[in-house]
Amino acid sequence: MLRRILWVIICIPPALFAIGTGAALSWPVTRHIVSAWWYLPDRLPALSDNGLVHYEPGAEDYARDVATLLPAALARVEATHGRPFAHPVTLGVYDSMDAYVAANGTGSTAPVGTAIFGRVNLSPKLSWPQHRRLPAILTHELSHAHIEGWIGNRYVLLPNWFKEGLAVMVSGGGGAELVGADEAWAAIQDGGQIAIDDAGSLLSWEIRFATAPARQDPSWYPVVLAYRQAGMFVTYLRASDEAAFDRMMNAILDGRAFADAVTVAYHDDVRSLWLRFVESSPHRKAELGSQPNLPP
C-alpha cells in the first residue's frame, strides 16, 4: 500500500501536465486522474495468450475480441504515424461502468475509450450495444497512446484539433461517426468551424471552435462535429502532400514544437494550410464553378 501511495505522489503531477486538463486548477478532475492511477488496468487479470489485454472479470469474451483486433490496429497506427510504438500499450477492458469510470481519467460514462498513463481503457458500451464501433475506437485511442509514448508530457503541447483529428483519420472516422463530411463542410461554409491553434492548452482537452456552429443540440453534436472537421483537415494534410505529412510526424515524434514541425514539413504555417483546405471544399468549388466567366 505504501508503495502505491508513493507512486501516486511521484506520478500524478507529471500526468496532470501531460493530459492538459487543467487538473491542478480543478479538484474533481484531479480526483478522476488520481482514481485512474489507483485503478490502472495492470491490476486486472490478463488474457493468457496476450498479456497486454487486461479485463475486469465478466469481460473475458470482450477482451478476446479486443485481442483479435489489436494487431491490425497497432499496424495501422504505426503505418500512419511512421514509427513503431515506443512502448507496449496495456489495455483495460471493462464489464461494469463503475469500474470503467474509476479507471478512465474523466469520471464520466460518456467517452467510449480513453488513453491515460500510456494505457487504453475501453468502455462496456463497446461490448454492447456499440460493439460495431470497437475497431475504430480501439485504433483511435492507440493513436493517442502512440504519440504519448514517444514524447511523454509534451503531448499536451500539441493542439487538440491535431491530436483528435489524427486519431479520427487513422481510425477511419472513430469518434466522429455521427457527423458526416457533407454536414461538416456545410457547417464550415456557414462559419461554424474549429479554431486552428498551433499549440495545446493546459486548461482544456476539447477542440475549440473559432465560431460556434449554429446547431448546439444535442449536447454531443458540437463535440462530434469538431472531431469530424479535425479529421477531415488532417486527412487533407496527408493527402495533399504525403511526404510533408511524414516529415511533420517525424518532427513531432522527435519532440519538436508543433508549429516548427509544420513549418519544416510544409514550408508554411498551419492557418494558411487550413485556408487551402477550406478552398478545397466541394461546396466552395461548386460556388466558384457556378460564377459567370468574366471578360479579361
* pLDDT digit string, tens, across residues 227-238: 999 999 999 999
Confidence of residue 284 (pLDDT cuts 50, 70, 90): low
Given this model, what pLDDT does residue 9 score?
A: 40
Confidence of residue 42 (pLDDT cuts 50, 70, 90): very high
| For the chain, domain boundaries | 1-153, 158-286
Q: Residue 201 has which C-alpha cell? A: 492548452
The number of angstroms, rounded, from the C-alpha of 221 to the middle of its chain's C-alpha atoms is 17
**Is residue 173 left, alpha or beta, with left meaning phi > 0 and alpha meaning psi from -120 to 50?**
left
What is the reported pTM? Answer: 0.88
Go through the chain and tell me how many residues it has.
296
94: closest CA among 53, 136, 135, 133?
A: 53
Q: Is the pLDDT of residue 6 over 80?
A: no
Given this model, what pLDDT does residue 202 score?
A: 67
Mean pLDDT score of the chain, rounded to an integer? 89
* pLDDT digit string, tens, across residues 210-228: 999 999 999 999 999 999 9
